[in-house]
């Protein structure tokens, strides 16, 4: 805004200045009216030009300002995906936009809190999902054991993620960092539990990947404003 105002002001002052100089150098009256007329025309066309410039910059400004919260989400996800191969840009944008509606982030820290909350609720849903799978009485003993391990690691992860939300709010970024990393470990160790026996596919591959990636996104965002030189 101040740039535009300055620009317009400068346009007018340059014009007035040159007009005055030209007028002062004119002695006779007839010549003076002629000069005024001629200079008026230049003055008007120059002002018109300035006016268009002003409108042009104004429209640029409102275009950038009008996109609201999706700007910060896109920009942050672009950076996260670039610095961490585990993070998929589209997954990041769609997850944070879902969270954005309910938590409304307007700055990086709020966005970080949103990301940790999403990770926590995702882990918590996964925990309930595992609990339901365990209700099946006809489970293969190996699968049952692996699911029980998953249940255990996810219970811990949910508790840690609850704490991590508080940690971020209260600026204990390195604590949050440790707890989020631990949640990533939980999801991968749950997945690995099924890989120990050939022919047994994990029923939790998508869930584990989602939690892993959401925690990675949270870590990436926290490191952007926590500034511990992780990146
Ligand atoms: C942000 O990304 C989404 C999805 O990729 C896209 O639809 C939207 O237009 C983008 N917004 C901005 C401001 O770049
Ligand atoms: C976890 O988050 C992902 C991405 O936002 C979403 O697609 C998925 O449905 C969530 N899963 C659960 C169990 O909440």
Contact 212, 187 (CB under 8 A): yes
At residue 124's C-alpha, the angle toward residues 119 and 126, to 5°, is 95
In short, whether 125's Cβ falls inside 6 Å of ligand 2 is: yes
Q: How confident is the model at residue 45 (pLDDT cuts 50, 70, 90)?
A: confident
> Confidence band (pLDDT; 50, 70, 90) for 18?
low
Ligand 1 pocket test target in 69, 81, 93, 100 with most atoms within 8 Å of CB: 93
What does the pLDDT look like over 79-125, one tens digit per residue?
999 999 999 999 999 999 988 766 567 789 999 999 999 999 999 99
Phi then psi for residue 136, to 5 deg, are -65, 120
Q: Which band of pLDDT confidence, cut at 50, 70 and 90, is reported for residue 221?
A: very high
Q: Which fold has domain 68-225?
A: Butyryl-CoA Dehydrogenase, subunit A; domain 3 (1.20.140)
Specify the higher pLDDT residue, 132 or 34: 132
Distance 118 CA to ligand 1 centre (A): 20
Q: Whose CA is nearest to atom 7 of ligand 1?
A: 70
Token pair 């709010």: residue: 169
Domain boundaries of the chain, sorted by first residue: 3-66, 68-225
Contact call for residues 213 and 87 (beta carbons, < 8 A): yes
Report pTM: 0.70
DSSP codes, 8-52: HHHHHHHHHHHHHHHHHT--SHHHHHHHHHHHHHHHHHHHHHHHH
Distance from residue 97's CA to the centre of ligand 2 (Å): 12
Nearest to 1 by CA among 47, 50, 60: 60
The pLDDT, as a whole number, for residue 65 is 41
CA of 103 to the centre of ligand 1 (A): 19
Share of the chain above pLDDT 70, in %: 71
Closest C-alpha to ligand 2, atom 14: 122
Distance 74 CA to ligand 1 centre (A): 6
* Structure-model confidence comparison of residues 150 and 104, the more confident one: 150
């Amino acid at each position: 805004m101040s740039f535009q105002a300055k620009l317009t002001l400068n346009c007018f002052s340059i014009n007035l200045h040159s007009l005055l100089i030209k007028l002062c150098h004119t002695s006779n009256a007839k010549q003076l009216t002629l000069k005024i007329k001629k200079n008026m025309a230049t003055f008007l066309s120059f002002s018109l030009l300035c006016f268009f410039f002003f409108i042009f910059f104004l429209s640029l400004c409102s275009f950038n300002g009008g996109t609201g919260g999706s700007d910060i989400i896109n920009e942050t996800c672009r950076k996260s995906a670039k610095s961490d191969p585990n993070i998929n840009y589209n997954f990041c944008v769609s997850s944070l936009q879902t969270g954005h509606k309910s938590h409304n982030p307007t700055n990086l820290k709020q966005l970080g809190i949103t990301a940790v909350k999403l990770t926590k609720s995702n882990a918590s849903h996964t925990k309930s999902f595992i609990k339901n799978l365990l209700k099946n009485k006809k489970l293969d003993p190996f699968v049952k054991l692996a699911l029980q391990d998953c249940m255990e690691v996810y219970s811990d992860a949910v508790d840690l993620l609850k704490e991590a939300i508080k940690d971020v709010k209260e600026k204990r970024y390195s604590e949050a960092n440790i707890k989020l990393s631990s949640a990533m470990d939980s999801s991968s160790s749950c997945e690995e539990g099924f890989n120990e026996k050939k022919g047994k596919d994990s029923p939790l591959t998508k869930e584990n990947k989602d939690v892993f990636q959401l925690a990675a996104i949270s870590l990436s965002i926290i490191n952007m404003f926590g500034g511990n030189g992780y990146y």
